[in-house]
């Protein structure tokens, strides 16, 4: 949690950090990933059989090695829009018997050479947990129940035995399951009204929890500010043992929201993620409202927010049907840093956030047949996933503000837009970590940092030009390491991310 006081631009900024005032535990799942059968994310990204850089299973070793550096706890699969026509049975068993199908989300052909077992094996190689999304378009409840049984079944039952026949004796124990993806969207196969979705979601949830009460089921929300979110939460967050639920456990554990931001104007680009912060606050209030209206007992676990698609993405410059391969700039990297600050600040409510996507498709990591490129957005993600863990702690920022236009426009009346965007944590190792994004495009900000002590490790992400990228063999943006004494003032460079790290008393 970071509070804010507005100063005139000529006044000296102050960042005050209070590591003893722990606000909320940060769920490591805010650094989750997302892989979809879209563009080159799967084929040519994480899975590239025949390439000398791939292992015997076809997994790109260089991709695995790079992603291990992010310590990714969970990866979502197989979509995204793709899952609305995906039938998991097409992607298991002997590969020469798997059917190729027309793929309607991104208008291609799905060969099904990479499916459930390959994804689970890839997750094990990466050291991450799987998160699967049900087909709420052309799929059936029987098909969904079969998928859970295939992944998690331990008994002498059909789909559990089919998994064993396919070479996997032990269950995969998949915990996280989404009740569809963006079912509200006109781009969806079998788009639904909120009324139709809520009815279907609660019926599926009842059956799924009967099969496996330990599942964590994730409701399909919109962007957290829509009537869809209000209605589906109101209809689906019901007490256990209610008229709609005979289950001894809650049917819904998390509520999913999605948002992408972008702008060709730097200041609009880096303030746009603040829309996500307000959306989280609104969604949290809608969860509480639904629990109040439906008389959910306080001892029933409160659902959290799953922000399972987020990133900087301009679908015009990186069209989805053409693979959505963004060329990220320094400005985009700073926008990603603000996104990550939002998730740290809102750790009380957000228990998972999945950057979309993991490789090639609107991704910080790109592949060629010969190797990988770490885009500008890789470095804030690496810094946060490495250091911004543990507990969110109280911090306060006093500085000037950007007063111009925002995108979306409603941010201007809903959120402050300070020049210094800040989050602060204290880890289990006793180190304080403060992430500071100076969004100003032309001014260094010499600031007091109250609470810093001893030798402070400094990690800086910046460059001379906001438009630079890390493509074409040039790594223009990376991490610069230095130290600071912790006394006096610290100068946060214009258009930069700075992470300050010191040992707490």
Q: What is the pLDDT of residues 40-63, one digit of tens each?
A: 999 999 999 999 999 999 999 999
User: For position 1, what pLDDT does the model report?
Assistant: 76
Is the predicted pLDDT of residue 245 greater than 70, yes or no?
Answer: no
Kindly state the percentage of the chain with pLDDT values over 70. Answer: 99
Each residue of 106-138: pLDDT tens digit?
989 999 999 999 999 999 999 999 999 999 999
Separation between Cα atoms, residue 315 and residue 153, nearest integer Å: 40
Q: Which of 118, 182, 277, 326 is catalytic?
A: 182
Q: What are the structure tokens assigned to 165, written together?
A: 């026949």
Is the predicted pLDDT of residue 223 greater than 90, yes or no?
Answer: yes
Is the predicted pLDDT of residue 247 greater than 70, yes or no?
Answer: no
**Cα separations in angstroms, 166 against 33, 87, 128, 162:** 27, 17, 22, 6
- 248: exposed, middle or buried (C-beta count within 10 Å: 0-12, 13-18, 19+)? exposed
Of the candidates 199, 246, 247, the one whose C-alpha atom is nearest the C-alpha of residue 220 is 199
- CATH fold of 2-503, please? TIM Barrel (3.20.20)
User: For position 468, what pLDDT does the model report?
Assistant: 97
User: For position 246, what pLDDT does the model report?
Assistant: 64
Over residues 330-345, the mean pLDDT reads: 98
Over residues 323-346, the mean pLDDT reads: 97
Separation between Cα atoms, residue 105 and residue 109, nearest integer Å: 10
Query: Can you tell me which residue has the tokens 């209070």?
Result: 18
Task: Give 473's pLDDT tier (boundaries 50, 70, 90).
Answer: confident
Concerning whether 11 is annotated as a catalytic residue, the answer is no
Over residues 359-388, the mean pLDDT reads: 97
User: For position 244, what pLDDT does the model report?
Assistant: 67
Query: Can you tell me which residue has the tokens 């992408």?
Result: 260
Over residues 183-210, the mean pLDDT reads: 96
Containing H/E element for 206?
helix 194-211
Mean pLDDT of the residues in the chain: 96
Concerning whether 309 is annotated as a catalytic residue, the answer is yes
Strand partners of residue 449: 15
Is the predicted pLDDT of residue 249 greater than 90, yes or no?
Answer: no
Q: Which of 36, 118, 309, 326 is catalytic?
A: 309
Separation between Cα atoms, residue 175 and residue 171, nearest integer Å: 11
């Amino acid at each position: 949690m970071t509070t804010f006081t507005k100063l005139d631009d000529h006044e000296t900024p102050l960042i005050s950090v209070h590591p003893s005032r722990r606000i909320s535990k940060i769920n490591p799942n805010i650094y989750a990933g997302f892989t979809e059968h879209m563009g080159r994310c799967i084929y040519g990204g994480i899975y590239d059989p025949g390439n000398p850089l791939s292992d015997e299973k076809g997994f790109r070793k260089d991709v695995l090695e790079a992603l291990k550096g992010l310590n990714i706890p969970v990866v979502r699969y197989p979509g995204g829009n793709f899952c609305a026509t995906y039938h998991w049975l097409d992607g298991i068993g002997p590969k020469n018997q798997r059917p190729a199908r027309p793929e309607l989300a991104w208008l291609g052909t799905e060969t099904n050479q990479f499916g459930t077992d390959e994804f689970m094996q890839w997750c094990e190689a990466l050291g991450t947990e799987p998160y699967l999304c049900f087909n709420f378009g052309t799929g059936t409840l029987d098909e969904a129940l079969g998928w859970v049984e295939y992944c998690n079944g331990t008994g002498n039952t059909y789909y559990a035995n089919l998994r064993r026949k396919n070479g996997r004796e032990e269950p995969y124990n998949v915990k996280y399951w989404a009740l569809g993806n963006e079912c509200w969207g006109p781009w969806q196969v079998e788009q639904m009204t909120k009324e139709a979705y809520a009815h279907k979601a609660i019926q599926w949830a009842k059956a799924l929890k009967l099969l496996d009460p330990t599942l964590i089921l994730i409701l399909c929300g919109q962007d957290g500010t829509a009537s869809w979110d209000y209605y589906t939460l109101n209809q689906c967050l019901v007490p256990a043992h209610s008229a709609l639920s005979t289950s001894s456990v809650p049917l819904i554990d998390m509520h999913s929201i999605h948002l992408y931001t972008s702008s060709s104007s730097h200041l609009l680009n880096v303030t746009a993620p603040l829309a996500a912060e307000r959306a989280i606050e609104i969604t949290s209030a809608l969860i509480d409202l639904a629990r109040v209206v439906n008389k959910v007992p306080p001892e029933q676990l409160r659902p959290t927010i799953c922000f399972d698609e987020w990133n900087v993405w301009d679908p015009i410059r990186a069209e989805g049907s053409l693979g959505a391969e963004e060329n990220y700039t320094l400005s985009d990297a700073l926008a990603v840093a603000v996104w990550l600050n939002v998730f740290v600040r809102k750790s009380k409510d957000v228990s998972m956030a999945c950057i979309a996507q993991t490789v090639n498709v609107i991704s910080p990591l790109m592949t060629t047949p010969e190797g990988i490129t770490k885009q500008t957005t890789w470095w804030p993600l690496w810094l946060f996933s490495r250091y911004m863990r543990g507990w969110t702690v109280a911090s306060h920022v006093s500085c000037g503000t950007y007063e111009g236009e925002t995108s979306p426009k409603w941010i201007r009346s809903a959120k402050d837009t300070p020049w210094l965007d800040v989050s602060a944590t204290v880890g289990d190792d006793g180190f304080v970590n403060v992430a500071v994004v100076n969004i100003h495009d032309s001014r260094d900000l010499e600031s007091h940092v109250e609470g810093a002590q001893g030798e402070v490790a400094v990690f800086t992400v910046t460059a001379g030009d906001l438009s630079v990228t890390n493509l074409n063999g040039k790594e223009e943006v990376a991490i610069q390491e230095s130290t600071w004494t912790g006394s006096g003032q610290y100068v946060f460079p214009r258009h930069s991310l700075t992470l300050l790290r010191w040992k707490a008393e």
